[in-house]
Structures are given as C-alpha cells and as structure tokens.
Structure 1
Amino acid sequence: MKQKNLLITGLSLNKLADLLISAKTTLTALLISIGAPVWMVGWLVPIRESGALLPQVLISIYLRKHTQRHIVWRIGMLTQTLSVLGMLLAVISFSGFLAGMLVLISLVLLSLGRSACSLTVKDMEADVAKKGERGSLIGIASTVSGVVTLVIAIPLVIYDGSLTSNVLLTVLCSSILSFVLTLICVWPIKTTVDLGDEAKKVFSVDFDATIYKFIFVRGLFVHSALVAPYFMIEKNGDVKALLPIYIGAEATAALLSSIIWGKIADRSAKLTLRISGALALISCVGLLMVQTTTVVISALLFFLLSVAHAGVRTGRKTYSLDVKDGHERTELVGFSNTAIGLILLAFGALYAVLTPVLSFSVVYIMAGMLLLAIITTVILPNEK
C-alpha cells in the first residue's frame, strides 16, 4: 500500500509537470511570446509526442538484458528536469529564432527522457497495482494533478494584470519543481522484471494481429492531440494572458474526468476510446461551426477536447497494460509507441504541407480521422 501511495503521488506530480509544460498550451504560448517563427509552433506536438515514442522499441530491446526498470525511469526523469531548465535559460537569455530553436532542441531531449519513463513506468504500475485497479490508479493521479494545476493557474488568471510578464517563467519553474518532486517520491520504488529465457533473444514480441490492430486504431486517435494547437492559435490576443485560462481548462478537464475515465477503462478500455473519441469529434465540430473567437467559447471547446484527450490516453494506456503481460507487455508498448511516433511525424508533415494549400481548415480532415478512429475500435480484441 505504501508503494502504491508513493506511485500515485509521483504520477500525480509527473502529470502536473506534463500539464504545465504542455506543447498544446505552454510551449505554444512560449514560442509566440519570444517571437519564434510560426512554423516552429506547428512542430511542437509532433516533436513532443513522436520524440517520446520513437525510441521506445530500442529502449525495450535494451531492457531485455536490464531487468531493473526503476533505474532507467530515474535517468529519464532527470533528463526531463534538465530539459525544462534548458528551456527556461533559453527564454531568459535569447529571443526570436535562436530561442525558438533552443526550445525545440530542449523539447527533443525532454521527449527522450519521457520516452524512457513512459516505457518503464508501466512495469512499475503493473508491479504495484493488479488488473482492474490500474485504470483507477492512472485516473486518481490525473485528478490530483488537475487540482494542483488549478491551484497554480487560478492566481495567474486573477492577478493577470500584474503577473502577465512573469507567467511563462512561473509556469516553467513550477514544472521543474514538479519533475524534481516526482523523482524524489518515486525513488524508493524498485521494480525488477523476470525475463527468464527471453533475455537471450534480440526481440521476441509476439507480432500477432492484436498488435497491428492496436497500432492502427491508436494511430488514428493521435488526432486528439494534433488538433489541440488550433484551439489556441485561432484566438488572437496576448498569449501570456490567455495561457493560464487554457492551462486551467486542461487541468479542470483532468480533475473532473480522470477518475471517471479510469473506472470506465477498468471495465472496458475499448469503450473508453469510443466515448472519448466522440467527445473529441464534437469539440472539433464546435471549433469549425461556432463562428466566434471569444475566449470563453475557445476555452470551453478546449476544455471538452482536453476531457476527450484524457479519455483517449487513459483508454489506450489501460488497454496496453491489460492486453499483454510481463516483458511481452513492455515490448508491445515499445514497438507500438515507436510505430505511433512515425505516424505522428507523417501526419505532422502531411498537415504542414496541406494547411497552406487547402481552401478549408485542416481540422475538417482531423475530424474525419477521429470519426474513423471511433469506428475502427470494433476490430480491437477485448483486453479483459
């Protein structure tokens, strides 16, 4: 029970750090405020997500002969902490293209650290919590992080007049502190995976139909993340003043929905994906159909998308935790995450090419992809 509480606390702090350094809100505002080229903003989410996914197949091969997963997790968490510190120094010292490039380089390093943590923490979660409890564990952590994020965001909104110039620095420093506290909380947890004869093989994941179906469906659901920057970029105004509102909306979404998503996922991860996908689709339709750019409407739509994305994350995490066991689960996660990283880069490049030449918003295409994602969940085998 003590280890479970430590892990919940650590996951909560980690999710808090993720919310505060989100590519969809904080980093978008950051690049705009320092005068970085607009094209850099379009690459934030693909770099953030694919950078955390692409290396996982290589990490999973490395882990085949290194059973102590907590050591790799610690290295990954330290890397993330130093990366955000690099962003802070870049913002303080430079501006324009150079500052933007340093932020992107730091984001690549942040994503690599997150990659190691994302892969190994699943073994730690599976070790501490049994099937039927893991979705709730993820949900509780997301809810706690939502509460703490609101505690940070609300004062920034209320005192926006006097704090505007320091909002970004406050958020970055809070993120660094959250990563450090995560490392401290989870440090006592040690997880060793029994590999048996599997350690002699190079890569032995069971490439059955389940893996390919999961990759295909999950590859469509990445649009719940890719579409997010459009909900902020469409609103003209002072991004430093808008940032706390969007952070607050994302945190409120985590606070209100995560435990519910966790309980639904413990019953059926497939159902979680379907419901959350439908909500993401509704938010996209709202963005396209509602002809107003008021901050209230934008924040509400972003809130709905954040609720949906929390469901997508909980659903696919719980599915990957429950559908396989042991190191087979580690390799499924590693292989599928690397594949999703490639898919993210492909979609990012596609939309970068299409956006300037299309006579309509690229969000229409993204909404269509989300609809297809919902439909294709029928091909996934039941994980329970």
Structure 2
Amino acid sequence: MIKALKKNLLGVLSGDDNLDRACSSIPAEACKEVSWNLRANVCNGAASKLAEQIAGPNLILPWLFQILGAPVWMFGFLLPIKQSFSLLPQMVVAGQIRRLAVRKWVWVGSGLVQMLCLLLMIPAALWFSPTAAGISLLLLLVVFSSASGTASVAFQDVLGKTVGKGHRGKLLAQRAFIGGILTTLAGFMLNRVQGDAQGLTPVLYLLFFAALLWALAALCFGLIRETPGAVSGGRNAIAEAREGIGFYRQYPGFRRFLTARGLLLTVELATPFFVLHAGQQLQLKVQDVGMLVVAVGFSQLISSPFWGKMADSTSRQVMLRSVQIAAAATFLALLLTIIPFYPLRYAAYLLVFVLIGLAESGVRLGRKTYLVDAVPQDERATYTAFSNSTIGLLAVASGLAGLVAQWFGPTWMLVCLLLLMLVAIRACRLMPEAETMLDSTE
C-alpha cells in the first residue's frame, strides 16, 4: 500500500511518462503541456481540498455553529446551501463560459471570491449574536457556493481540454490523495490544541488559513497552460435549459444517471448530521474535533489508490461502492447508540468518519469522471450545468432535513439517511456504464 501511494504521488509530481502520453481525446497541441498541467492541477487540488476540509460546511462550519449557539435547524442548511448554490447557477454560467477561448480564469476568479467569503466570516463570528452570526454565515456560504459552482463548470471544461480520457480519474484521485495528506497533518496539529470544543479562536485561525489556501489554489490553476478552444455555441440560461431537457428526454441512460446522483446526495449531505450525532454521543473537545479531521484526511489517503484506478475503468462502480460504504457507516453510527463503553464508542465513531469520508470522496470522484467520460466534449458544459442545476433543486429541498433533526433528533435523521442510501444502491445498479450512457435513445 505504501509503495503504491508513493508511486502514485511521484508519478504526478515527476511527470511520469505514462501520464505525459495521456493525449487521448484532447487537442493535439495540448499534448506537449500534459506534464506541466498535471502538476499545476495537482497543486490546485491539494490546496483546494485542504481548504474544503479545514473550513468547509461538512465538519468545521457545523462545529463553528455549535460554538456560536446557532439554532439547530441551521445545521440542516449548511450542505444543502453548499450543494444547491454550487449547482443551480451553473445553468447561467455554462453558456457564458462557452464564449471564452481560455476558461481557466473563470476558476481563478471564483477561487478568489471563495477566499474573500471565508475572510468575511471571521468578523461575523466575532461581532454578531448567535442567530445573526448564523444567518450571516449562511449568506456568505451562498456566495461562496455560487463561486464554487462557477468554478466547477470551468474545471470540467479545462480538465477535458488538458487531460486525456482514461487518466482523469487518476488525476482526481491524486488531488484527493495529496489533499488527504495535508488534511491529516492539519488534523494532528489541531489535535495538539488544548481546551474544550467551545473555543472560538482555533476555528477563526482555520478560516484564515483556508482563505490563504484558496488564494494558492487560484494561483496554481492560473498556471495551467490551456489551449484556446472554440467560442461558438454559447447560449443563455433558457437555451441551456431547453438543450438539457432535450438530452434528458432523449437518453434513458442520462435519466438514470440523474436519478442515481440525486439519491447520492444522501452521502454528500450527511456529514453535518454525523457531527451532531457525535456531539450527542460524545463530549467533544478541540482535540477530538482534530481527530475527526484526521479521520476524514485519512479516508482520502486510503481512497485515492483504488478510487482513481476504478473510476478510469468503471466510474459507475465507484459510485455504487461508495454509497454501500456510506450505508455501512450510517448503520455503525446507529449501533453506537447502544454501546455503553465510552472508549469503544469513541474509537468506533472515528471509524464512522473514515468510512463516510471514503464514501464522499468516491461519490464526488465517480460522478465527475462519469459525466466527463460519458458526453462529447462540445456538449460537456451543457450536460454538466443541466445535471448540476437539477441536483441543486433537490439539494434545496433537502435543507428541510435540518427540521427533522431539530424535531426528532440526529438519530432519526440518520435512520432516514440510511433508508435513502439503500434506494441509492439500487439506482446505481440500474445505471449504465459511462461509455454506454448515450447509446440508447428515445
């Protein structure tokens, strides 16, 4: 395992010859820049992945909300806001991005906006009342997520232009792998902080450091040598929606992908409820939160060697295995409610976070690789924007899950998630492989 991880890391950082020849399905003039672009892309991914983990809505922001004393219902809107406002604006920006010959600067600008949002969260947490601070943070998260969604469309397009098919999953895995190393190190550093979980200062330092990481990520993405592409075919949001609906009606495989991806939201939106449940079952200190960060970082490390390789051969299986792991993690968390021995419960909950982090990484990598491999390059932005906007609508509705947690408690919320994960497993089994998604028409 260690040798495999070392080989994967050095392969990207040194410009492994196999990766240098990863020119399938990209412009011929881009082939000579593959090695450089892989390094710049990995640098971007390492910084952005670490920033997402140390100041993201899945773990650290729920902890911040607990410290501030924000209402419980707000927890349920953290990841739905992140998901929906990352996805819904994409229908608007996809057509505009088409008009740009070089699209990397869209990601760069979006990264700087995300940096600014994190910096503004610091005075909001310091100066406002609990409810006002919570609302302010949610509003900043709306802007942050909209910038993230814009960057996502640009990233998919730049990835398709600069990295050949068959190597994209490996690249995404390498980004997660190095991000996992840095996240694990950050978690161990946080674990050395003394005090209880109500200390605000460590969280504010995390927000500031994450803002710097977004600036670094923007710099790295700006270093990608992108070949100018076609600027024709740009459409407005209505035209994009009409085109996307046409694809949805025409291809049953695309419909099955969207159904499965919608159900996979149960994996991507679950972490804040695990944080709430862990807080209910354990008396968390700062060191304990640091160990949860370590668990998530470790999950990225162990996921990278096989998720990336599996995604390049069958991204559908990546999504299927990921939701199966998430269901197992949820079932384990529910079992912990009947375990009286605290050390065992604590250790088992660290395993829960490793598993849910592993599942979340797999879902993200699998769905990204699936869509990039399944659709033609000239329509990639439209497919991405339509699918993301559709899932964004579902994510908005999922914000009501916070009310379930407030009324019935985190345990019943996990029960609901587990049932939906079982349905998601079935949906992934019915989904075609990426290469055959567009083979059947109606």
- Is the pair's TM-score, using the shorter chain for normalization, greater than 0.5? yes
Report the Cα offset of residue 379 of structure 1: 2.9
* Distance across 2 between alignment mates of 1:359 and 1:188: 44
Tell me which residue corresponds to 2:183: 149
Aligned pair 1:227/2:283, yes or no?
no
Alignment partners' CA distance in 1, 2:401 and 2:187: 34
Quick check: 1:21–1:171 contact (8 Å CA) kept in 2? yes
Contact conserved, 2:107 with 2:218, CA < 8 A, in 1? no
> Is the 2:54–2:207 contact (alpha carbons within 8 Å) kept by the matching residues of 1?
yes
Distance 2:63 2:258 in 1: 31
The correspondence of residues 64-83 of structure 1 with structure 2, limited to 5 A, is: 64-83=98-117
Unaligned 5+ residue runs, structure 1?
A: none
Report SS of the residue matched to 1:362.
helix
- Secondary structure of the corresponding residue to residue 380 of structure 2: helix
1:17-96 alignment runs, 5 A limit: 17-96=51-130
Structure 2 residues without counterparts, runs of 5 or longer: 1-34, 436-442
Larger mean Cα displacement after TM superposition, 336-345 or 365-374: 365-374
Which AA in structure 2 matches 1:194? A
| Mapped pair 1:277 → 2:323 | yes
Structure 1 counterpart of 2:224, one-letter code: I
Between the aligned partners of 1:345 and 1:333, the Cα distance in structure 2 is: 18
* Worse-superposed segment, 203-212 or 249-258: 203-212
Distance 2:404 2:371 in 1: 32
The corresponding residue for 2:394 is 343
Q: TM-score when scaled to structure 1?
A: 0.93
| Superposition deviation, residue 238 in structure 1 | 4.2
1:57 deviates by 1.1
CA distance in 1, matches of 2:204, 2:410: 38
**Worse-matched range after superposition: 22-31 or 234-243:** 234-243
Provide the secondary structure at the position in 2 that maps to 1:268: helix
Q: State the alpha-carbon separation in 2 of the partners of residues 211 and 255 from structure 1.
A: 31
Work out the CA distance in 1 between the residues paired with 2:66 and 2:410. 25
Deviations 1:45-92 (A, max 9, x none): 111111111111111122233343112212211111101111122123
Residue 78 of structure 1 contacts residue 183 of structure 1 at CA under 8 Å; is this kept in 2? yes
1:1-384 equivalences in 2 (<5 Å): 1-161=35-195, 166-191=201-226, 192-196=228-232, 198-199=233-234, 202-203=239-240, 204-205=243-244, 206-207=247-248, 208-234=251-277, 235-236=279-280, 237-238=283-284, 240-290=286-336, 291-292=338-339, 294-349=345-400, 352-353=403-404, 356=407, 361-384=412-435
Q: TM-score, normalised by structure 2?
A: 0.81
Q: Residue 199 and residue 107 in structure 1: after superposition, are their counterparts in 2 closer, same or farther (change >3 A)?
A: closer
Structure 1 pair 136–32 and aligned structure 2 pair: CA distance change class (3 A): same
Provide closer, same or farther for how the CA distance between residues 95 and 297 of structure 1 changes in structure 2, counting only shifts above 3 A: farther
Q: CA RMSD in A?
A: 2.2
Is the contact made by 1:69 and 1:190 (CA closer than 8 Å) also made in structure 2? no
Q: Is the 8 A contact 1:150 1:251 kept in 2?
A: yes
Distance 1:37 1:313 in 2: 29
Aligned equivalents of 2:420, 2:59: Cα separation in 1: 23
CA contact (8 A) 1:274 1:374 kept: yes
Shift of 1:211: 2.5
Report the counterpart of residue 29 of structure 2 in structure 1: none
Q: Distance in 1 between matches of 2:410 and 2:194?
A: 37
Instruction: Tell me, in whole angstroms, the C-alpha distance in 2 between the residues paired with 1:258 and 1:378.
Output: 23
Asked if the contact 1:17–1:176 (Cα under 8 Å) also holds between the matched residues in 2, the reply is: yes
CA deviation map 1:174-215 (0-9, x unaligned):
21111011111111225433254x337833343322322211
Letter in 2 for 1:343: L
Paired with 1:71 and 1:295, the residues of 2 have a C-alpha distance of 44
Higher-Rg structure is: 2
Distance 2:416 2:72 in 1: 21
2:320 and 2:429 in contact (8 A); partners too: no
Q: Using the alignment, how far apart are the partners of 1:116 and 1:200 within structure 2?
A: 16
Once the 2 structures are TM-superposed, how far is the Cα of residue 274 of structure 1 from its aligned partner?
Answer: 1.2
Q: Distance in 2 between matches of 1:69 and 1:298?
A: 42
Alignment size in residue pairs? 383
The residue type equivalent to 2:346 in the other structure is V
